[in-house]
Amino acid sequence: MQPYTGSCLCGGIAFQVRGSLAPIQVCHCRQCRKAQGTPFATNTPVEEAKFELVSGRELITEYESSPGKFHAYTGSKANWWPILDDLPCFEGVADPAGKR
């Protein structure tokens, strides 16, 4: 089986996935729509052992769009994505006063 390949928009970061993919999930929650700027987001989980970063490791960085933002809209989070940190979780929008 040929690996699945992909890259970032500029092509500087390239990856491949060996093996079959899990079923593709289409999410319509508000958070995914806003993050992607589309009416839905399509995702598929990939086992770490099947993923290989081919090039561009030095180009990968992190970006925090809203400093200090906690987990919001967890009421519609992906059921396959566990939240493993100790940050507050909000089923809807986070209360600015920090109340649950």
* Residue ranges covered by each domain of the chain: 4-61, 67-100
The CA-based dihedral angle spanning residues 18, 23, 29, 33, taken in that order and rounded to the nearest 10 degrees = 50
Instruction: Count, in order, helices (H) and strands (E) of the chain.
Output: 1, 5
* Residue-by-residue pLDDT tens, the chain, 100 positions: 899 999 998 999 999 999 998 888 888 887 788 888 887 788 888 999 999 999 999 999 876 655 555 777 788 887 777 888 887 888 876 555 555 4
Question: pTM (2 decimals)?
Answer: 0.54
CB contact set of 24 (below 8 Å; sequence gap of 6+): 42, 43, 44
Alpha-carbon span 19 to 48, nearest angstrom:
12
Alpha-carbon span 47 to 99, nearest angstrom:
36
